[in-house]
Every structure is written in C-alpha cells, then in structure tokens.
Structure 1
Amino acid sequence: MQKLVWRVKLVADFGDEAAETAVEVARIERNEFTVPEALGLSLSEGKRLTAAIQMEMVRAQAATMGERFRCCAHCGSTLSSKGYRSVTFQSLFGDVPLRVRRFANCQCREVADEPRSFSALTLERGIAPELAYVTAKFAALAPFAKVADLLAELLPVGGAVNAGTVRNGTRRVGEHIARLRPEEVADPDIDAVTPAVVIGLDGGYLRSRHRRPERNFEVLAGKGAQSRWVLVDRI
C-alpha cells in the first residue's frame, strides 16, 4: 500500500545579509487509505512538532542575542569572552538546552548596568512567560498535581512536571504580582505570618431510590469564616 509523506520544514530568513536556512522539523507518514481515527495530527505528533519548532527558534534567537552582547553598547569595543555557560530555557513547548557565551564587563564604565550574555536574561529563572501564566492560571482552579498531569498530557512541557514545580512556579507569579504596587506603597512582606483562613466543609451522599444503573452522587458545601475551627464531615 502506498504511503503519503509530509515533511514539515522551518525556514529562517534573517534578512538580506544572510541566506535563508531550512530545517526539517518533522516527517509524518500515513497510509494512502486512512481511517477517520488517523486523520490529521495525533497528540504525540503535535507535541513532537511544536517541541522541534520551539528548539530551532529558541536556539537561533539565543545565538542572535549572544552576538548583540559581543561589543560594548557605549564605546563599541569588543568584549573578552569568559567562556560558556549551560542553561535551560523552559517553555510550554518543551525545554531547550542552550550553551551561551559570557562576556567580561567593559572597562569604559565603572558599574555595569546591563547583562553581558543571554544567560543573564533567563526570563524569570529560565521560564517562559507563557509557561508561568498557564501554570498559575490552572493552579488557581485545580490541585497542583492535576495541573501537572494536564499540561504534560496536552503539551511537550518540561517545566511543570510535578506538583511541587507547579506550586513553586505559582508562588513566584504571586510574589511578582504582589509587588506590582504604586511607588509610594511599600512592598508587602511575603514571608509575614498572616491570619489563618478557616474553611468549614460539609458533605453527604445522595442515593438513588432506584437500583442500578442509577447513580449516586456526593454533595459538598463549604463556608469560609474568620474563626479557629474547621469542620470536615463525610457521610
């Protein structure tokens, strides 16, 4: 049986000075006669495709940004290299390992107020803003472990692989938002002890008066109060 083949190529065009480069990021094969279940991309193919595109784009952008720091922005002199550093850029579309060059500070200025390599621009500890946003958003709606499972199921994400990672990432986003205050307002102390928030929970099972296949279900009710008790009742 004849096979149909799709080759997905990523073409990079950096302007007139550099020639276009094409990289094959995916190869997808299907039989000539396709069943409805095989139409389009599968989940695993979609994850591999987006991860491959992300890796090629991030590495090309990191190399371009690295060239930006080769010369001093003030006097134009070439900076001496301090070797390389290995960093990992975490995103919704997979982790991208990078090897970036570090540069020494220029002698024309006593205090360096600009980063000297891409590794200094690790975007909130090497985490893409999209990953931090999606993780914090869903962590506010579901348990941390469920969020990690959901992201890992749908995306080639590598930065939210367990409940602890989701919790820590959500906390960092919360700390950043808490500091978004007017200049005249002091920053809050994120380590200060706050009053306990007590939640009362109650629940019960409602059973059907009919036999199976009728289903039973559980009803939960909760109420928050500024008191020192917590009621959890299961029937």
Structure 2
Amino acid sequence: MGNQEEKKMSEKHRKILEAAIDTFAEKGYAATSTNEIAKKAGVAEGTIFRHYKTKKELLLSIVSPTVAKFVAPHFVKSFSKEVLEGEYDSYEEFLRKLAYNRYEFIKQNFPILKIFIQEVAFHEEFQKPYFNLFKDVILPNFTKVVVHFQDKGELKKLPPETIIRFTISTIAGTIFTQRFLDQKQDFNQELEEAISFLMDGLSPGQK
C-alpha cells in the first residue's frame, strides 16, 4: 500500500514538473501562476505547495536538479563523445558536426533549455554548476581541437578561448534565433552560411 501511495505521489509530482516546464517555457516564469500549473497538471494547487514552498523553489527544482541530472550530463557526455573527441580532417568538418549535433540536441530539449536561457541570467544560483561543467569538461576538449587546427595552419593564432567563443556564439545564435524567430527559412542553408562565415573569419588567409 505504502509503495502504491508513493507511486501515485511520484506520478503527480512528475505531472507537476512537466506542467511547470511547459508553462514556464510558453509564458515565462513571471507570467506563470502556480494555479495555471496545477490546472495543467490536473492537481490541486495545494499539492504543488506540498512539494515546493514557492514558485521560485519549483523553478529551481526544474532548472537545477532536472537539467543538472538529466540534460547537463547528457549534454556534456554526448557532446564530448560525439563531437569533441572525434577526428576531423578540417576545422570546417568539425564545425559541421558540431552545428548539426547541437541542433538535434536543442530540438529535443527545447522547452527546458528555453527556461534555462530565460532564467539563468536572472538567478545567480543557476549559473555556477553550469559554468563549472563547461570549464572542467567542455573547454579542455574544445581547446585541444582548436590548437590541433592552429598547429596545422588552418586557424588564426588567436587565443583558443576567443575562437571557441566566436564558434559557440555563432552556431548557438544561429540555432536559437531560428527557433525563436523565422522557422520558415531554409535552416540547413543558414547553418551552412554560418559555418562559411566562421571559416572566412577564422582562416589565416593568404600570406
């Protein structure tokens, strides 16, 4: 009996989290009420407050543990394994793999990533775990790729961190603006143009 009660509760709990993710992603944190979340989850508002004292606590529980436990490690492991640890003949080939791999990832995880992006700028407590994850895991592997192609003479001798920043902001910016703005545009073509744009800017050019 106890087990069944627990199961029922965890099912309700899951529904609350799913409803919160959907509603926060759709309307933003500030415009969402716990009452709306409760309606969407099919539970009484009081049920939410049995799990979370405040709306902010509910948001923190979504963005921190959920992203940290499920999305972030998946992001880091799959990104390292599928992209950063691969072998490439050129930085352009690497960029193509990076761009299409992350596009698929963002498509699959868009609602929670949208919440993360909306809220991470405003809540300092969200920021540290992700910055540490980036600094400890992604940055060293990404740096190896950049240095490798700098040594081959394919990339300008800029600081690797600068090349990484330009690469991430261009690829991520192209993907996210397409998701938020004009989804009718031929996205593959836009991604290819972003790759060409990066290569034009990062290649050493003729001496």
* Structure with more of its chain in strand, by fraction: 1
Q: Give the TM-score normalised by the residue count of structure 1.
A: 0.26
* Structure with more of its chain in helix, by fraction: 2
